[in-house]
A and B are shown apart, each in its own frame.
Chain A
Amino acid sequence: MSIILLFLAAIVAVVFAWLWRHGILAKPWLEVGVAGGYPVTDPSAARVAKVALGVFLAVIGSLFALTVSAYLMRASLGDWQAVRTPGILWVNTGVLALSSLALETARLAARRGDMAGVRAGVLAGGATAMLFLVGQLIAWRQLNAEGYYLASNPANAFFYLITALHGVHVLGGLAGLGRVTWRMEQGAGVARLRLGVDLCAIYWHALLLIWLVLLGLLTNWVGDFVAICRQLLT
């Protein structure tokens, strides 16, 4: 459970820093009047949405940190037989990185007010994300063909579970991106698309980051690393 605890420690650090900046030590009964770090204006819709996305990503982070913790806990038992990593995972990783990159260009284009750039980025991002999902399905089929069935042992089950959980989150992202695309096709201007593109790009980067961690785990880099650390300690 060390991974989830590290993750939570990071969250707690952020929360405490935030509380500190908001005067958690203040003595409110001595301050009467319109004082303190209150908002001068109401926050913009964009700001609210980004804060919400940040909180949501923390929840997703917790979900994956727990899954990784469970994986490592089980993998540390003696009889673990890791799955052979299908080569296509590396291609998929590249595709997901491209997808992230495409949305980043869309986001920059939205900031510049460049509608054509936004369109190209959003469509490319969506297409590559779908390609990633197809790639993951191919990886599953390859594994199945090689006899790595879901129910044969816990390592296989974890492999399918982790890739599925991540895939579902990519699907969720595609739903959001689909909404942005639909609005774009309805002829919405850059100003109306900016927030949506922004949020999608942030979400995509987070999913890419999570995927890289999961990939490291599934290809056993993390396992090897942990094993080395353990050997050093004992």
Chain B
Amino acid sequence: MPLAIVLALIVFGSVLFHFLSPWWFTPIASNWGYIDDTVNITFWITGAVFAAVVLFMAYCLLRFRHKPGRRAAYEPENRRLESWLAIGTGIGVAAMLAPGLVVWARYITVPADATAVEVVGQQWQWAYRLPGKDGKLGASETRAISDTNPVGIDPDDPAGRDDVVVQGGELHLPVGKPVALLLRSVDAVHDFFVPEFRAKMDMIPGSVTYYWLTPTRTGSFEVLCAELCGVGHPYMRGTVVVEPEADYQAWLAQQQTFEQMQAPATTGAIDTGATKASATE
């Protein structure tokens, strides 16, 4: 009896909490509003099921609680009811899965006009590499990392000479332009996560992973690491600044290229054009 009331209270309390909660998604700043939509669909369907099942249970507890002389019904099964419940559940599941898969297909397909930006994670800071004038990122590998080459650009690849390297600073992105983030790590597994962008992907040492987004709103956003990467994990922060194109170009022009970082430029380029990107699997 008290349990029936408590169960009903749990349902009402949970629904009330859901609507009154001050803790909800941060205001979105990317094109991934679709993801919020799928989350909302899932909330509606699962919320309805939760309320229905728990309230029905509360009703049963109230209605069929033991009283002297009561005897339970003998009902081994009811195929028709079970079939309908299975079909209904199947429909609900499909209604959540289908939009999810559609959005996932978009999520993993990078648009052709996206600019590549490399993010390199290391314990416990972020480094970024943006393509220089040639619009291409040079080859890179962990073994090439040294004091003057913090992200491991292949010194023999001419495409890498004009790459812009930002270490420990902010990443600036132009608003409204799709950007493909190529993710690398040099030690543990990290994850470049900006809550306002919704998107996320782990960075695995030894391979290049990716995701893409279009920033839709200017502002300064906090970057967190979202995969345990050692004792400094919570302090692995960074900042992404989304700004209009002109400001972005101005910022870009102030950054150092790889060539400038190499104090005495070593010349004698051997043309090895291959971009190194081992498969993730």
Contacts and interface: CB of A to CB of B under 8 A. Distances in A.
A and B touch in the complex (CB under 8 A): yes
A29 B278 contact: no
Interface in B225-281: 278-279, 281
Contacts of B77: 27
Contacts of A73: 281
Nearest to B75: A29
A27 B77 CA distance: 10
A37 interface: no
B76 A27 contact: yes
B23 to A, nearest CB: 38
A77 B76 contact: no
Interface in A15-55: 27, 29
A29 B279 contact: no
B42 to A, nearest CB: 28
Contacts, number: 10
Interface in A75-114: 76-79
A140 B279 CA distance: 32
A153 B264 CA distance: 35
Contacts of A79: 278
A76 B279 CA distance: 10
B278 A78 contact: yes
Nearest to A79: B278
Interface of A: 27, 29, 73, 76-79
Interface of B: 76-77, 278-279, 281
Top 6 nearest A-B pairs (CB, nearest first) are A29-B76, A78-B278, A77-B278, A77-B279, A27-B76, A76-B281
Given A77-B279, A78-B279, 4 more contacts: A73-B281, A77-B278, A78-B278, A79-B278
